[in-house]
Chains A and B, each alone.
Chain A
Protein backbone atom coordinates (compact mmCIF):
# COMPACT_ATOMS: atom_id res chain seq x y z
CA UNK A 1 0.00 0.00 0.00
CA UNK A 2 1.20 3.49 -0.79
CA UNK A 3 0.58 6.72 1.09
CA UNK A 4 -1.66 7.84 -1.78
CA UNK A 5 -3.89 4.77 -1.52
CA UNK A 6 -4.08 5.16 2.24
CA UNK A 7 -5.23 8.73 1.70
CA UNK A 8 -7.99 7.63 -0.66
CA UNK A 9 -9.02 4.90 1.76
CA UNK A 10 -8.98 6.90 4.97
CA UNK A 11 -8.71 10.66 4.49
CA UNK A 12 -10.46 11.53 7.73
CA UNK A 13 -8.39 12.58 10.74
CA UNK A 14 -9.42 11.49 14.24
CA UNK A 15 -6.43 13.03 16.02
CA UNK A 16 -6.98 16.74 15.52
CA UNK A 17 -4.17 19.29 15.08
CA UNK A 18 -3.43 21.75 17.86
CA UNK A 19 -3.03 19.12 20.58
CA UNK A 20 -0.47 19.36 23.36
CA UNK A 21 1.88 16.57 22.23
CA UNK A 22 5.56 17.50 21.90
CA UNK A 23 6.99 18.55 18.56
CA UNK A 24 7.75 15.43 16.49
CA UNK A 25 5.88 13.04 18.82
CA UNK A 26 6.05 9.43 17.64
CA UNK A 27 3.05 8.29 19.63
CA UNK A 28 0.56 10.80 18.18
CA UNK A 29 1.69 9.65 14.74
CA UNK A 30 0.92 6.07 15.76
CA UNK A 31 -2.47 6.94 17.31
CA UNK A 32 -3.40 8.88 14.19
CA UNK A 33 -2.89 5.75 12.04
CA UNK A 34 -4.51 3.39 14.52
CA UNK A 35 -7.67 5.50 14.49
CA UNK A 36 -7.59 5.80 10.71
CA UNK A 37 -7.73 2.01 10.58
CA UNK A 38 -10.40 1.58 13.27
CA UNK A 39 -12.70 4.40 12.18
CA UNK A 40 -15.33 6.37 14.01
CA UNK A 41 -17.03 3.52 15.89
CA UNK A 42 -14.24 3.15 18.45
CA UNK A 43 -13.95 3.66 22.20
CA UNK A 44 -10.53 4.42 23.65
CA UNK A 45 -9.51 3.66 27.22
CA UNK A 46 -6.31 5.40 28.24
CA UNK A 47 -4.42 4.85 31.50
CA UNK A 48 -2.13 7.60 32.81
CA UNK A 49 0.41 8.37 30.09
CA UNK A 50 1.40 11.04 27.59
CA UNK A 51 -1.85 10.14 25.84
CA UNK A 52 -3.79 11.57 28.77
CA UNK A 53 -2.06 14.86 28.22
CA UNK A 54 -2.20 15.31 24.50
CA UNK A 55 -5.87 14.43 24.38
CA UNK A 56 -6.40 17.83 26.00
CA UNK A 57 -8.04 19.48 28.97
CA UNK A 58 -11.76 19.95 29.58
CA UNK A 59 -13.76 21.43 27.80
CA UNK A 60 -11.91 20.52 24.62
CA UNK A 61 -10.29 17.34 23.35
CA UNK A 62 -8.01 16.51 20.44
CA UNK A 63 -9.42 13.04 19.70
CA UNK A 64 -12.78 12.83 17.98
CA UNK A 65 -13.88 9.43 19.31
CA UNK A 66 -15.10 8.59 22.83
CA UNK A 67 -12.10 8.63 25.14
CA UNK A 68 -11.96 7.52 28.75
CA UNK A 69 -9.06 8.32 31.04
CA UNK A 70 -8.37 5.62 33.58
CA UNK A 71 -6.13 4.97 36.55
CA UNK A 72 -2.67 3.59 35.73
CA UNK A 73 -3.29 -0.06 36.59
CA UNK A 74 -6.91 -0.38 35.51
CA UNK A 75 -7.26 0.32 31.77
CA UNK A 76 -7.80 -3.33 30.71
CA UNK A 77 -10.35 -3.75 33.53
CA UNK A 78 -12.25 -0.65 32.36
CA UNK A 79 -12.10 -1.90 28.79
CA UNK A 80 -13.46 -5.29 29.91
CA UNK A 81 -16.39 -3.49 31.54
CA UNK A 82 -17.10 -1.48 28.42
CA UNK A 83 -16.94 -4.61 26.25
CA UNK A 84 -19.40 -6.32 28.62
CA UNK A 85 -21.75 -3.33 28.55
CA UNK A 86 -21.71 -3.07 24.78
CA UNK A 87 -22.35 -6.82 24.45
CA UNK A 88 -25.33 -6.55 26.80
CA UNK A 89 -26.71 -3.71 24.69
CA UNK A 90 -26.16 -5.73 21.52
CA UNK A 91 -23.78 -3.18 20.00
CA UNK A 92 -21.52 -5.38 17.92
CA UNK A 93 -19.87 -2.91 15.54
CA UNK A 94 -17.97 -0.89 18.17
CA UNK A 95 -14.26 -1.56 18.67
CA UNK A 96 -12.94 -1.10 22.20
CA UNK A 97 -9.26 -0.32 22.46
CA UNK A 98 -6.71 0.56 25.11
CA UNK A 99 -4.04 3.12 24.34
CA UNK A 100 -1.33 2.78 26.96
CA UNK A 101 2.28 3.75 27.34
CA UNK A 102 5.04 1.30 28.12
CA UNK A 103 5.01 2.10 31.85
CA UNK A 104 1.28 1.47 32.04
CA UNK A 105 1.75 -1.78 30.11
CA UNK A 106 4.93 -3.54 31.15
CA UNK A 107 5.16 -2.32 34.77
CA UNK A 108 2.03 -0.96 36.39
CA UNK A 109 -0.78 -2.31 34.18
CA UNK A 110 0.57 -5.79 33.63
CA UNK A 111 -1.69 -7.64 36.09
CA UNK A 112 -5.00 -6.39 34.73
CA UNK A 113 -3.66 -6.73 31.19
CA UNK A 114 -2.71 -10.34 31.80
CA UNK A 115 -6.12 -10.95 33.37
CA UNK A 116 -7.97 -9.60 30.35
CA UNK A 117 -5.80 -11.75 28.06
CA UNK A 118 -6.56 -14.83 30.14
CA UNK A 119 -10.31 -14.07 29.82
CA UNK A 120 -9.76 -13.38 26.10
CA UNK A 121 -11.80 -10.18 26.37
CA UNK A 122 -12.88 -8.88 22.99
CA UNK A 123 -10.76 -5.71 22.66
CA UNK A 124 -7.49 -4.45 21.20
CA UNK A 125 -4.67 -3.38 23.48
CA UNK A 126 -2.14 -0.97 21.99
CA UNK A 127 1.05 -0.24 23.83
CA UNK A 128 2.98 2.71 22.45
CA UNK A 129 6.48 2.11 23.67
CA UNK A 130 8.69 5.16 24.12
CA UNK A 131 10.94 3.14 26.40
CA UNK A 132 10.59 5.15 29.64
CA UNK A 133 8.09 7.15 31.69
CA UNK A 134 8.26 10.13 29.34
CA UNK A 135 5.20 11.99 30.60
CA UNK A 136 6.84 12.62 33.96
CA UNK A 137 10.24 13.46 32.48
CA UNK A 138 12.06 10.24 31.52
CA UNK A 139 12.22 7.71 34.33
CA UNK A 140 13.34 4.14 33.67
CA UNK A 141 10.63 1.58 32.92
CA UNK A 142 10.76 -2.17 32.34
CA UNK A 143 10.81 -1.35 28.65
CA UNK A 144 13.94 0.84 28.70
CA UNK A 145 16.72 -0.85 26.70
CA UNK A 146 20.16 -1.77 28.03
CA UNK A 147 22.54 1.18 28.26
CA UNK A 148 19.92 3.92 27.90
CA UNK A 149 20.16 7.05 30.05
CA UNK A 150 17.11 8.08 32.03
CA UNK A 151 16.86 10.40 35.05
CA UNK A 152 16.79 7.32 37.29
CA UNK A 153 19.61 5.52 35.44
CA UNK A 154 22.10 8.38 34.98
CA UNK A 155 24.93 6.03 33.92
CA UNK A 156 22.73 3.94 31.63
CA UNK A 157 20.34 1.08 32.41
CA UNK A 158 21.98 -2.20 33.39
CA UNK A 159 19.11 -4.54 32.55
CA UNK A 160 17.60 -5.71 29.29
CA UNK A 161 14.24 -4.63 27.88
CA UNK A 162 11.22 -6.73 28.76
CA UNK A 163 9.78 -8.47 25.69
CA UNK A 164 6.11 -7.77 26.34
CA UNK A 165 4.80 -8.89 22.95
CA UNK A 166 6.00 -12.44 23.54
CA UNK A 167 4.68 -12.40 27.11
CA UNK A 168 1.27 -11.44 25.74
CA UNK A 169 1.42 -13.88 22.81
CA UNK A 170 2.11 -16.72 25.23
CA UNK A 171 -1.28 -16.07 26.83
CA UNK A 172 -2.40 -17.79 23.59
CA UNK A 173 -4.36 -14.78 22.43
CA UNK A 174 -5.53 -14.88 18.78
CA UNK A 175 -3.39 -11.96 17.62
CA UNK A 176 -0.22 -10.29 18.86
CA UNK A 177 1.97 -8.04 16.76
CA UNK A 178 4.70 -5.42 16.89
CA UNK A 179 4.75 -2.20 14.89
CA UNK A 180 6.70 1.03 14.73
CA UNK A 181 5.42 4.57 14.23
CA UNK A 182 7.99 5.02 11.47
CA UNK A 183 6.11 2.44 9.39
CA UNK A 184 2.60 3.90 9.63
CA UNK A 185 1.18 1.87 6.75
CA UNK A 186 2.40 -1.40 8.29
CA UNK A 187 0.70 -0.34 11.55
CA UNK A 188 -2.43 0.62 9.61
CA UNK A 189 -2.63 -2.80 7.93
CA UNK A 190 -2.03 -4.64 11.20
CA UNK A 191 -4.72 -2.63 12.97
CA UNK A 192 -7.17 -3.29 10.16
CA UNK A 193 -6.44 -7.00 10.42
CA UNK A 194 -6.78 -6.91 14.23
CA UNK A 195 -10.16 -5.23 13.86
CA UNK A 196 -11.56 -8.26 12.03
CA UNK A 197 -10.40 -10.75 14.68
CA UNK A 198 -12.48 -11.55 17.77
CA UNK A 199 -10.91 -11.87 21.19
CA UNK A 200 -7.94 -10.21 22.86
CA UNK A 201 -5.53 -8.58 20.43
CA UNK A 202 -2.24 -6.98 21.40
CA UNK A 203 -0.14 -4.59 19.30
CA UNK A 204 3.12 -3.19 20.64
CA UNK A 205 4.25 -0.02 18.85
CA UNK A 206 7.73 1.43 19.15
CA UNK A 207 7.25 5.22 19.25
CA UNK A 208 10.45 7.30 19.30
CA UNK A 209 10.37 10.26 21.69
CA UNK A 210 12.56 13.28 20.79
CA UNK A 211 12.85 14.83 24.28
CA UNK A 212 13.39 11.55 26.12
CA UNK A 213 15.66 9.86 23.59
CA UNK A 214 17.53 13.12 23.00
CA UNK A 215 17.44 13.67 19.27
CA UNK A 216 16.29 16.41 16.91
CA UNK A 217 12.50 16.54 16.47
CA UNK A 218 12.81 16.15 12.70
CA UNK A 219 14.42 12.72 13.06
CA UNK A 220 11.54 10.86 14.78
CA UNK A 221 10.75 8.76 11.72
CA UNK A 222 14.41 8.24 10.85
CA UNK A 223 15.30 6.95 14.35
CA UNK A 224 12.39 4.49 14.34
CA UNK A 225 13.49 3.28 10.94
CA UNK A 226 17.05 2.76 12.24
CA UNK A 227 15.64 0.74 15.16
CA UNK A 228 14.04 -1.64 12.66
CA UNK A 229 16.98 -1.65 10.22
CA UNK A 230 19.44 -2.44 12.99
CA UNK A 231 17.26 -5.24 14.37
CA UNK A 232 16.83 -3.56 17.76
CA UNK A 233 13.12 -3.68 16.99
CA UNK A 234 11.57 -6.53 15.04
CA UNK A 235 8.29 -6.21 13.17
CA UNK A 236 6.26 -9.40 13.31
CA UNK A 237 2.81 -10.88 13.85
CA UNK A 238 1.78 -13.93 15.82
CA UNK A 239 -1.59 -15.01 14.49
CA UNK A 240 -3.14 -18.01 16.25
CA UNK A 241 0.35 -18.99 17.30
CA UNK A 242 1.94 -18.75 13.86
CA UNK A 243 4.94 -16.43 13.70
CA UNK A 244 5.31 -14.20 10.62
CA UNK A 245 7.82 -11.45 10.04
CA UNK A 246 6.44 -8.26 8.51
CA UNK A 247 7.98 -7.09 5.26
CA UNK A 248 10.42 -4.39 6.58
CA UNK A 249 12.06 -6.95 8.90
CA UNK A 250 11.67 -9.86 6.48
CA UNK A 251 13.63 -7.97 3.84
CA UNK A 252 16.49 -7.63 6.32
CA UNK A 253 16.40 -11.33 7.13
CA UNK A 254 16.73 -12.17 3.45
CA UNK A 255 19.38 -9.51 2.76
CA UNK A 256 21.71 -9.40 5.78
CA UNK A 257 23.92 -6.83 4.01
CA UNK A 258 21.11 -4.28 4.36
CA UNK A 259 21.18 -4.49 8.16
CA UNK A 260 22.56 -1.45 9.96
CA UNK A 261 25.06 -1.98 12.80
CA UNK A 262 23.38 -1.25 16.12
CA UNK A 263 26.12 1.31 16.86
CA UNK A 264 24.63 3.62 14.23
CA UNK A 265 21.22 3.48 15.93
CA UNK A 266 22.76 4.15 19.35
CA UNK A 267 24.97 7.01 18.17
CA UNK A 268 21.99 8.85 16.70
CA UNK A 269 20.50 9.32 20.17
CA UNK A 270 21.74 11.32 23.15
CA UNK A 271 20.35 8.82 25.65
CA UNK A 272 23.05 6.29 24.72
CA UNK A 273 25.95 8.72 25.18
CA UNK A 274 27.21 6.94 28.29
CA UNK A 275 27.00 3.41 26.83
CA UNK A 276 30.26 1.45 27.02
CA UNK A 277 31.84 -0.47 24.14
CA UNK A 278 31.18 -3.76 25.95
CA UNK A 279 27.48 -2.95 26.17
CA UNK A 280 27.37 -2.10 22.46
CA UNK A 281 28.99 -5.45 21.72
CA UNK A 282 26.53 -7.17 24.04
CA UNK A 283 23.57 -5.58 22.26
CA UNK A 284 25.02 -6.46 18.84
CA UNK A 285 25.57 -10.11 19.77
CA UNK A 286 22.08 -10.25 21.27
CA UNK A 287 20.65 -8.94 17.99
CA UNK A 288 22.75 -11.33 15.88
CA UNK A 289 21.55 -14.30 17.91
CA UNK A 290 17.97 -13.11 17.53
CA UNK A 291 18.29 -12.93 13.73
CA UNK A 292 19.37 -16.59 13.71
CA UNK A 293 16.49 -17.58 15.94
CA UNK A 294 13.76 -15.79 14.01
CA UNK A 295 15.05 -17.28 10.76
CA UNK A 296 14.17 -20.68 12.25
CA UNK A 297 10.79 -19.52 13.57
CA UNK A 298 9.48 -17.79 10.44
CA UNK A 299 6.15 -19.29 9.34
CA UNK A 300 6.08 -21.82 12.19
CA UNK A 301 3.65 -22.29 15.03
CA UNK A 302 5.36 -21.12 18.21
CA UNK A 303 2.68 -22.13 20.74
CA UNK A 304 3.47 -25.46 22.31
Chain B
Protein backbone atom coordinates (compact mmCIF):
# COMPACT_ATOMS: atom_id res chain seq x y z
CA UNK B 1 0.00 0.00 0.00
CA UNK B 2 1.38 3.38 -0.98
CA UNK B 3 1.49 6.47 1.16
CA UNK B 4 -1.81 7.29 2.83
CA UNK B 5 -2.47 10.97 3.40
CA UNK B 6 -4.50 11.53 6.56
CA UNK B 7 -6.63 14.51 7.57
CA UNK B 8 -8.32 15.33 10.85
CA UNK B 9 -11.11 17.93 11.09
CA UNK B 10 -12.10 19.73 14.30
CA UNK B 11 -15.36 21.62 14.50
CA UNK B 12 -18.68 21.86 16.28
CA UNK B 13 -21.94 20.06 15.60
CA UNK B 14 -23.97 22.00 13.04
CA UNK B 15 -21.06 23.62 11.18
CA UNK B 16 -21.09 21.19 8.26
CA UNK B 17 -17.82 19.50 9.18
CA UNK B 18 -19.00 15.97 8.43
CA UNK B 19 -20.45 17.10 5.09
CA UNK B 20 -17.21 18.91 4.24
CA UNK B 21 -15.16 15.77 4.97
CA UNK B 22 -17.48 13.80 2.69
CA UNK B 23 -17.11 16.40 -0.08
CA UNK B 24 -13.32 16.30 0.31
CA UNK B 25 -13.34 12.53 -0.21
CA UNK B 26 -15.50 12.88 -3.33
CA UNK B 27 -13.29 15.67 -4.68
CA UNK B 28 -10.16 13.59 -4.07
CA UNK B 29 -11.74 10.77 -6.05
CA UNK B 30 -12.43 13.14 -8.95
CA UNK B 31 -8.81 14.26 -8.68
CA UNK B 32 -7.76 10.71 -9.51
CA UNK B 33 -7.00 9.20 -6.10
CA UNK B 34 -8.17 5.61 -5.96
CA UNK B 35 -8.52 5.25 -2.21
CA UNK B 36 -10.62 7.84 -0.37
CA UNK B 37 -12.40 7.76 2.98
CA UNK B 38 -14.41 10.11 5.14
CA UNK B 39 -15.21 9.15 8.69
CA UNK B 40 -17.32 11.20 11.13
CA UNK B 41 -16.69 11.02 14.85
CA UNK B 42 -19.57 12.63 16.70
CA UNK B 43 -20.32 10.76 19.90
CA UNK B 44 -23.83 11.84 20.80
CA UNK B 45 -25.19 14.26 18.21
CA UNK B 46 -25.19 17.67 19.82
CA UNK B 47 -25.31 21.03 18.17
CA UNK B 48 -22.43 23.12 19.47
CA UNK B 49 -20.49 20.20 20.96
CA UNK B 50 -17.02 19.40 19.63
CA UNK B 51 -16.85 16.88 16.84
CA UNK B 52 -14.13 15.43 14.66
CA UNK B 53 -14.09 14.00 11.17
CA UNK B 54 -11.35 12.18 9.30
CA UNK B 55 -10.22 11.70 5.72
CA UNK B 56 -7.78 9.27 4.17
CA UNK B 57 -6.54 9.86 0.65
CA UNK B 58 -4.27 7.46 -1.21
CA UNK B 59 -3.29 6.38 -4.71
CA UNK B 60 -4.34 2.85 -3.84
CA UNK B 61 -7.34 1.33 -2.07
CA UNK B 62 -7.17 1.84 1.70
CA UNK B 63 -7.74 -1.11 4.01
CA UNK B 64 -7.45 0.75 7.30
CA UNK B 65 -10.80 1.97 8.66
CA UNK B 66 -9.95 3.36 12.09
CA UNK B 67 -9.94 6.94 13.35
CA UNK B 68 -6.95 9.01 12.32
CA UNK B 69 -4.34 9.23 15.08
CA UNK B 70 -1.35 10.73 13.27
CA UNK B 71 -2.69 13.17 10.70
CA UNK B 72 -0.71 14.97 7.98
CA UNK B 73 -3.18 17.84 8.06
CA UNK B 74 -5.30 19.14 10.92
CA UNK B 75 -8.18 21.45 9.99
CA UNK B 76 -9.72 23.57 12.75
CA UNK B 77 -12.96 25.08 11.50
CA UNK B 78 -14.02 26.79 14.72
CA UNK B 79 -11.47 29.14 16.31
CA UNK B 80 -12.81 28.57 19.82
CA UNK B 81 -11.59 24.96 19.77
CA UNK B 82 -7.91 25.77 19.46
CA UNK B 83 -8.27 28.28 22.30
CA UNK B 84 -9.96 25.75 24.48
CA UNK B 85 -7.43 22.98 24.08
CA UNK B 86 -4.50 23.59 21.75
CA UNK B 87 -2.86 20.32 22.75
CA UNK B 88 -5.83 18.17 21.77
CA UNK B 89 -5.90 19.78 18.34
CA UNK B 90 -2.23 19.20 17.50
CA UNK B 91 -1.96 15.77 19.14
CA UNK B 92 -0.33 13.29 16.82
CA UNK B 93 0.23 15.89 14.08
CA UNK B 94 3.26 14.74 12.11
CA UNK B 95 6.37 16.86 12.03
CA UNK B 96 6.28 18.56 8.66
CA UNK B 97 2.48 18.51 8.67
CA UNK B 98 0.01 21.29 8.12
CA UNK B 99 -2.29 23.09 10.49
CA UNK B 100 -5.18 24.79 8.72
CA UNK B 101 -7.03 27.35 10.82
CA UNK B 102 -10.12 29.47 10.61
CA UNK B 103 -9.03 32.72 12.22
CA UNK B 104 -11.50 35.55 12.51
CA UNK B 105 -9.40 37.72 14.78
CA UNK B 106 -5.67 38.41 14.35
CA UNK B 107 -5.28 38.61 18.16
CA UNK B 108 -5.88 34.89 18.24
CA UNK B 109 -2.58 34.15 16.52
CA UNK B 110 -0.33 34.47 19.54
CA UNK B 111 -2.15 31.65 21.37
CA UNK B 112 -1.37 29.03 18.76
CA UNK B 113 1.32 26.40 19.22
CA UNK B 114 2.38 23.82 16.63
CA UNK B 115 4.84 20.93 16.54
CA UNK B 116 8.28 21.74 15.13
CA UNK B 117 8.54 21.63 11.39
CA UNK B 118 4.82 22.23 10.80
CA UNK B 119 3.43 25.08 8.79
CA UNK B 120 0.25 26.99 9.57
CA UNK B 121 -2.25 28.33 7.04
CA UNK B 122 -5.16 30.58 7.94
CA UNK B 123 -8.36 31.80 6.36
CA UNK B 124 -11.21 33.87 7.75
CA UNK B 125 -13.94 31.30 7.11
CA UNK B 126 -16.41 32.88 9.53
CA UNK B 127 -16.29 36.14 7.59
CA UNK B 128 -16.72 34.35 4.24
CA UNK B 129 -19.81 32.53 5.53
CA UNK B 130 -21.28 35.71 6.97
CA UNK B 131 -20.66 37.65 3.74
CA UNK B 132 -22.33 34.98 1.62
CA UNK B 133 -25.04 34.29 4.20
CA UNK B 134 -23.95 30.65 4.18
CA UNK B 135 -25.87 29.60 7.26
CA UNK B 136 -28.16 26.80 8.33
CA UNK B 137 -30.48 27.57 11.24
CA UNK B 138 -28.27 30.38 12.52
CA UNK B 139 -24.94 28.54 12.36
CA UNK B 140 -22.24 29.35 9.81
CA UNK B 141 -21.29 26.39 7.62
CA UNK B 142 -17.57 26.72 8.28
CA UNK B 143 -16.66 23.38 6.74
CA UNK B 144 -17.22 24.60 3.17
CA UNK B 145 -14.68 27.47 3.02
CA UNK B 146 -12.16 25.25 4.82
CA UNK B 147 -12.24 23.02 1.72
CA UNK B 148 -11.00 25.91 -0.43
CA UNK B 149 -8.29 26.58 2.13
CA UNK B 150 -7.32 22.89 2.03
CA UNK B 151 -7.00 23.01 -1.76
CA UNK B 152 -4.74 26.06 -1.55
CA UNK B 153 -2.58 24.89 1.35
CA UNK B 154 -1.94 21.31 0.24
CA UNK B 155 -2.21 21.67 -3.54
CA UNK B 156 -3.44 18.08 -3.60
CA UNK B 157 -6.89 18.87 -4.87
CA UNK B 158 -7.83 21.29 -7.59
CA UNK B 159 -10.74 23.69 -7.49
CA UNK B 160 -12.11 21.87 -10.53
CA UNK B 161 -12.42 18.58 -8.62
CA UNK B 162 -14.09 20.39 -5.74
CA UNK B 163 -16.53 21.92 -8.22
CA UNK B 164 -17.45 18.47 -9.52
CA UNK B 165 -17.96 17.16 -5.97
CA UNK B 166 -20.18 20.14 -5.15
CA UNK B 167 -22.22 19.63 -8.31
CA UNK B 168 -23.13 16.14 -7.13
CA UNK B 169 -24.42 17.43 -3.79
CA UNK B 170 -25.94 20.82 -4.49
CA UNK B 171 -28.04 22.43 -7.21
CA UNK B 172 -28.98 25.96 -8.26
CA UNK B 173 -28.27 28.88 -5.95
CA UNK B 174 -27.17 26.54 -3.18
CA UNK B 175 -24.36 25.30 -5.42
CA UNK B 176 -23.43 28.86 -6.39
CA UNK B 177 -23.25 30.00 -2.78
CA UNK B 178 -21.26 27.03 -1.54
CA UNK B 179 -18.85 27.07 -4.42
CA UNK B 180 -18.33 30.81 -4.13
CA UNK B 181 -17.30 30.26 -0.52
CA UNK B 182 -14.71 27.71 -1.67
CA UNK B 183 -13.30 30.08 -4.30
CA UNK B 184 -13.16 32.98 -1.87
CA UNK B 185 -11.36 30.85 0.70
CA UNK B 186 -8.93 29.59 -1.95
CA UNK B 187 -7.82 33.10 -2.83
CA UNK B 188 -7.65 34.40 0.74
CA UNK B 189 -5.72 31.56 2.41
CA UNK B 190 -2.29 32.62 3.63
CA UNK B 191 0.67 30.99 5.26
CA UNK B 192 1.25 32.39 8.72
CA UNK B 193 4.63 33.33 10.10
CA UNK B 194 4.99 32.08 13.69
CA UNK B 195 7.45 33.15 16.38
CA UNK B 196 10.11 30.57 17.41
CA UNK B 197 8.56 30.11 20.86
CA UNK B 198 5.30 28.96 19.27
CA UNK B 199 6.92 25.75 18.09
CA UNK B 200 6.71 22.90 20.61
CA UNK B 201 7.89 19.32 20.54
CA UNK B 202 5.33 16.98 18.94
CA UNK B 203 2.45 15.78 21.11
CA UNK B 204 2.08 11.98 21.04
CA UNK B 205 -1.19 10.67 19.55
CA UNK B 206 -3.93 9.53 21.87
CA UNK B 207 -4.56 5.80 21.87
CA UNK B 208 -7.81 3.93 22.49
CA UNK B 209 -8.30 3.11 26.19
CA UNK B 210 -7.66 -0.53 27.07
CA UNK B 211 -10.30 -2.16 29.26
CA UNK B 212 -8.73 -4.25 32.05
CA UNK B 213 -9.38 -7.98 31.83
CA UNK B 214 -11.95 -9.33 34.27
CA UNK B 215 -11.75 -13.01 35.25
CA UNK B 216 -13.95 -13.12 38.36
CA UNK B 217 -16.79 -10.95 39.62
CA UNK B 218 -14.61 -9.74 42.50
CA UNK B 219 -12.42 -8.02 39.89
CA UNK B 220 -15.32 -5.75 39.00
CA UNK B 221 -15.12 -2.15 40.19
CA UNK B 222 -17.69 -1.01 42.78
CA UNK B 223 -21.16 -0.12 41.41
CA UNK B 224 -20.61 3.05 39.39
CA UNK B 225 -22.75 5.83 40.84
CA UNK B 226 -22.35 9.29 39.35
CA UNK B 227 -22.14 12.36 41.55
CA UNK B 228 -24.32 15.35 40.64
CA UNK B 229 -22.13 18.28 39.76
CA UNK B 230 -22.19 21.49 37.79
CA UNK B 231 -20.38 21.18 34.50
CA UNK B 232 -20.87 17.44 34.15
CA UNK B 233 -19.20 17.65 30.73
CA UNK B 234 -17.03 20.66 31.46
CA UNK B 235 -17.46 24.39 31.06
CA UNK B 236 -20.07 24.60 28.33
CA UNK B 237 -19.52 28.35 28.09
CA UNK B 238 -16.98 27.53 25.39
CA UNK B 239 -19.82 26.44 23.07
CA UNK B 240 -20.98 30.03 22.86
CA UNK B 241 -20.61 32.06 19.68
CA UNK B 242 -22.75 34.93 20.98
CA UNK B 243 -22.78 36.23 24.54
CA UNK B 244 -25.96 37.53 26.23
CA UNK B 245 -25.42 40.77 28.15
CA UNK B 246 -28.03 42.11 30.59
CA UNK B 247 -28.63 45.85 30.75
CA UNK B 248 -29.65 46.36 34.39
CA UNK B 249 -31.06 49.82 33.66
CA UNK B 250 -33.71 48.34 31.37
CA UNK B 251 -34.29 45.21 33.50
CA UNK B 252 -37.57 45.15 35.43
CA UNK B 253 -36.70 41.94 37.35
CA UNK B 254 -39.58 39.99 35.77
CA UNK B 255 -37.32 36.87 35.76
CA UNK B 256 -38.60 35.64 32.38
CA UNK B 257 -34.97 34.98 31.38
CA UNK B 258 -34.48 32.87 34.50
CA UNK B 259 -37.71 31.02 33.79
CA UNK B 260 -36.94 30.20 30.15
CA UNK B 261 -33.21 29.37 30.49
CA UNK B 262 -32.91 25.68 29.52
CA UNK B 263 -29.44 25.50 31.02
CA UNK B 264 -30.33 26.94 34.45
CA UNK B 265 -27.34 29.23 33.83
CA UNK B 266 -29.23 32.31 35.02
CA UNK B 267 -29.34 32.92 38.75
CA UNK B 268 -30.97 35.73 40.70
CA UNK B 269 -28.84 37.94 42.94
CA UNK B 270 -29.80 39.40 46.31
CA UNK B 271 -31.25 42.53 44.67
CA UNK B 272 -33.51 40.45 42.44
CA UNK B 273 -31.59 41.02 39.20
CA UNK B 274 -30.88 38.04 36.96
CA UNK B 275 -27.23 37.11 36.51
CA UNK B 276 -25.73 34.96 33.80
CA UNK B 277 -23.18 32.29 34.66
CA UNK B 278 -20.83 32.64 31.67
CA UNK B 279 -18.94 29.48 32.64
CA UNK B 280 -21.93 27.40 31.57
CA UNK B 281 -24.16 29.63 29.38
CA UNK B 282 -24.18 28.00 25.92
CA UNK B 283 -25.37 31.21 24.27
CA UNK B 284 -28.62 29.90 22.79
CA UNK B 285 -30.20 33.36 22.92
CA UNK B 286 -33.60 32.38 24.35
CA UNK B 287 -33.26 34.96 27.16
CA UNK B 288 -32.59 37.68 24.60
CA UNK B 289 -35.60 36.69 22.45
CA UNK B 290 -37.96 36.40 25.41
CA UNK B 291 -36.98 39.51 27.40
CA UNK B 292 -40.08 41.76 27.28
CA UNK B 293 -37.96 44.92 27.82
CA UNK B 294 -35.26 43.97 25.30
CA UNK B 295 -32.75 44.34 28.10
CA UNK B 296 -30.61 41.39 26.97
CA UNK B 297 -28.40 41.85 23.92
CA UNK B 298 -26.46 39.12 22.14
CA UNK B 299 -22.96 40.25 21.23
CA UNK B 300 -20.36 38.30 19.26
CA UNK B 301 -18.22 36.32 21.67
CA UNK B 302 -14.64 37.54 21.84
CA UNK B 303 -13.39 35.45 24.68
CA UNK B 304 -9.74 35.67 23.70
CA UNK B 305 -9.59 39.42 24.15
CA UNK B 306 -10.11 38.91 27.85
CA UNK B 307 -7.43 36.26 28.18
**Which residues of A line the B interface, CB within 8 A?**
2-4, 6-7, 11, 13, 15-26, 28-29, 32, 53, 55-64, 134-137, 184-185, 210-211, 214-222, 270
Contact = CB atoms under 8 A, between A and B. Distances in A.
A184 B226 CA distance: 28
Contacts of A21: 46, 262-263
23 contacts: A15-B264, A16-B231, A17-B265, A17-B277, A18-B230, A19-B233, A20-B49, A23-B284, A24-B284, A29-B260, A56-B233, A57-B232, A58-B224, A58-B226, A60-B228, A61-B229, A210-B137, A210-B284, A211-B13, A211-B47, A218-B138, A220-B262, A220-B284
A19 B265 CA distance: 11
Interface string B129-141: 0000000111000
Nearest to B264: A13
B259 A17 contact: no
A270 B137 contact: yes
Nearest to A15: B264
Contacts of A64: 228
A56 B253 CA distance: 32
Interface in B273-307: 277, 279-286, 288-290, 298
* Interface residue SS majority, chain B: loop
Contacts, number: 163
A184 B231 CA distance: 23
What class of interface size applies to chain B in its complex with A?
Answer: 35 or more
A34 B163 CA distance: 51
Nearest to A216: B138
A20 B49 CA distance: 8
B92 interface: no
A64 B264 CA distance: 13
A211 B262 CA distance: 15
B268 interface: yes
Contacts of A215: 137-138
Given A61-B232, A137-B45, A23 B282 contact: yes
Contact of A22 (B48, B138, B227, B230): B48
A93 B299 CA distance: 46
Nearest to A214: B137
B44 interface: yes
B285 A7 contact: no
Given A4-B254, A26-B262, A211-B14, A60 B46 contact: no
Contacts of B260: 29, 184, 221
A235 to B, nearest CB: 17
A18 B235 contact: yes
Nearest to A209: B47
B166 interface: no
Nearest to B46: A22
A32 B264 CA distance: 8
Contacts of A13: 264
A21 B239 CA distance: 11
A211 B137 contact: yes
Given A20-B232, A215-B137, A218-B284, A56 B263 contact: no
Given A58-B224, A218-B298, A23 B239 contact: yes
Contacts of B14: 211
B258 A16 contact: no
A16 B232 contact: yes
